[in-house]
A and B are shown apart, each in its own frame.
Chain A
Amino acid sequence: MQDNVKDNGITPSQTVGPFFKYGLTPTGEYAWNDAFTSSTLTPDVTGDRVRIEGRVFDGDGVVVPDVMLEIWQADAQGRFADPQDKRALPNASFRGFARCGTDKDGNYAFETIKPGVVPDPDGKPQAPHILLAVFGRGMLRHLYTRIYFSDEAGNAADPVLALVPADRRATLTAVREAGKAVYRLDLRLQGDNETVFFDV
């Protein structure tokens, strides 16, 4: 049989393009069923419910209205909804994943819970964090970053934040709005205050 892959090198990435919305994030606007929403919340989920919102900007400071963002995170006890996390106890329907697109003004928002502490490979605690993948027209491969929370004392000792120059850590830290369970984090794909992206 003919085969398109002659070796075990990986399939290269290509841009998600400008037209993903009807397939990946239709949100009721297209004749296609949503598999995902911008919320990880399930009726039985426990933990502090939070909203994380912000805007996405390009290298000219212009808002980016056509990126897709995906988050992956642990539950409030620091456990992942994946059988590969051998510590996990499947006692809730929380799945830790959500997806959204930016709107015409570059806004995004996720409804989720604040994750618990997850150990690093040496068993040291990482501060609560959410993985964020950014896909977009003009982006040939998605970019990986992390969302930390401004009101977490554990940030100071976080082993991944420690890899980031001190003056860039703010680009990874969602700032809590006074008196609300809302955190704001803008993403800058390029230029001044460029978001830190990780080579994972």
Chain B
Amino acid sequence: MTFIYPVDSNKAHPLPLSPEYKSSIKRAPNKPLIPMRHTLSELTGPVYGHETLREGDSDLTTQHTGEPIGERIIVHGHVRDEDGRGVPNSLVEIWQANSCGRYVHVRDQHPAPLDPNFTGAGRTVSDASGYYRFVTIKPGAYPWGNHHNAWRPAHIHLSVFGHSFVTRLVTQMYFPNDPLFPFDPIFNSVPDEKARARMVSAFDLENTQPEWALCYRFDIVLRGKNATPMENH
């Protein structure tokens, strides 16, 4: 199948400059991006499949000798394209804070404990239907220096490859009904309310495992449509 990647779809993304998010002020280009046609360089992309994974990469609760502290959760969904088709064999990488809202990154020094049993990094590859699944710990909210009393809503960072280099997506998955949403300039950098809603996972009771873990569903929609219209029969 041949895909096209309409540039209009990018309107769902935040603009580079979002002044409420202070760090964007000196890092957003002043000059307009230059439009260009996609060449083979843009229409192809890196292919990394199961050979990229090690055992346990998709279960962040089993990467150390003991179990991490916190609320065990399942995060699953489909990687899809703009026609609703699953994107198979796509690498999905995640990283996140622990249940106290602390990252293992050396620069995160806010006063919350590290968990010796939790690194907070994982990766998996979507299957033939685009389905992916992680087991992890629900991350905590954490303070940051953007403005007075600024707190990030709990989130899991995701990095997804997709069909081409222009489908590359780095985003954040949020949890439903977070009271911090109205105050977060990163979440609100996405101008369209419907687009913001796509970053919020749905509580999934059907796939919650009794006595074991709550489940959240998070479908990821990447750019890409079928280049050849469906045949009419």
- Chain A interface (Cβ < 8 Å from any Cβ of B): 1-24, 26, 30-33, 35, 58-60, 62, 64, 70, 72-74, 80-85, 95-97, 118-121, 126, 129, 131, 133, 135-144, 160, 163-164, 189-191, 194-200
Nearest CB of A to B173, in Å: 9
CB distance from A121 to the nearest CB of B (A): 5
Which residues of A are found within 8 Å of B95, using beta-carbon distances?
A: 19-20, 22-24
Give every chain A residue within 8 A of B164 (Cβ-Cβ). 84
**A4 pairs with B222, CB closer than 8 A:** no
B33: Cβ under 8 A from any A Cβ:
yes
Nearest chain-B residue to A115 (Cβ)?
A: B41
A198:B34 contact, CB within 8 angstroms: yes
Interface residues of B in 75-126 (CB under 8 A from A): 77, 80, 82-84, 91, 93-95, 97, 103-105, 107-108, 119-123
Q: A8-B84, A14-B189 are in contact. List 11 more A-B contacts (CB 8 A).
A: A10-B221, A14-B187, A15-B23, A81-B47, A118-B40, A119-B39, A133-B165, A138-B26, A140-B14, A189-B28, A198-B35
A12-B198, A22-B95, A70-B168 as given contacts; A95 in contact with B7, CB under 8 Å: no
Nearest chain A residue, comparing its CB with the CB of B52: A35
| Complex A-B: 11 CB contacts under 8 Å | A1-B207, A31-B63, A60-B26, A131-B41, A138-B21, A138-B26, A140-B14, A141-B14, A189-B27, A196-B31, A200-B36
For the complex formed, measure the closest distance between the CB of B106 and the CB atoms of chain A, giving whole angstroms: 8
**Interface range for B:** 35 or more
Closest to A130 in B: B41
Flag if B195 contacts A199 (CB, 8 Å): no
Does residue B183 face the partner (Cβ distance < 8 Å to A)? no
**Are B222 and A11 touching (Cβ within 8 A)?**
yes
Which residue on B lies nearest to A62, using beta carbons?
B26
**B163 contact set on A, CB distance < 8 A:** 84
User: A119 contacts which chain B residues (CB < 8 A)?
Assistant: 39-40
Look across to chain B and name the residue whose beta carbon is closest to the beta carbon of A29. Answer: B106
Residues of B contacting A121 with CB < 8 Å?
A: 37-39
Least Cβ distance of B178 to chain A in Å? Answer: 13
A58 to B16 CA separation, bound complex (whole angstroms): 13
With A140-B21, A190-B29 known as contacts, the answer to whether A12 contacts B47 (CB < 8 A) is no
List residues of chain B with CB within 8 A of the CB of A16. Answer: 157, 159, 170
- A110 vs B131: C-alpha distance when bound (angstroms): 33
| Inter-subunit contact B222/A10 (CB<8 Å) | yes
- Among the listed B28, B80, B165, B217, which residue makes an inter-chain contact with A190, where contact means beta carbons less than 8 Å apart? B28
Minimal beta-carbon separation of A48 from chain B (angstroms): 19
A8:B14 contact, CB within 8 angstroms: no
C-alpha spacing A142/B10, complex, angstroms: 12
Interface residue ranges, B against A (CB under 8 Å): 2, 5, 7, 9-10, 12-16, 18, 21-48, 52, 54, 57, 63, 77, 80, 82-84, 91, 93-95, 97, 103-105, 107-108, 119-123, 157, 159, 163-166, 168-172, 186-187, 189-190, 194-207, 217-223
Q: Is the interface of A mostly helix, strand, loop or mixed?
A: loop
Q: How far is the CB of B204 from chain A (nearest CB, A)?
A: 6
User: A5, A22, A141: which has the most chain B beta carbons within 10 Å?
Assistant: A5
Q: Is the CB of B123 within 8 A of A82?
A: no
The contact of A5 among B28, B94, B219, by CB within 8 Å, is B219
Residues of B within 8 A of A140 (CB): 13-16, 18, 21, 24, 186, 189
The distance in angstroms between the C-alpha atoms of A6 and B38, with both chains bound, is 29
Write the nearest CB–CB distance from A17 to chain B, whole angstroms. Answer: 6
Given contacts A12-B14, A196-B34, contact A30 B44 (CB under 8 A): no
CB pair A198–B33 under 8 Å, yes or no, is yes
| Cα separation A97 to B104 with both chains bound (whole Å) | 27
Kindly report which residue of chain B lies nearest to residue A140, judged by CB atoms: B14
Query: Which residues in B have their C-beta under 8 angstroms from that of A59?
Result: 25-27, 30
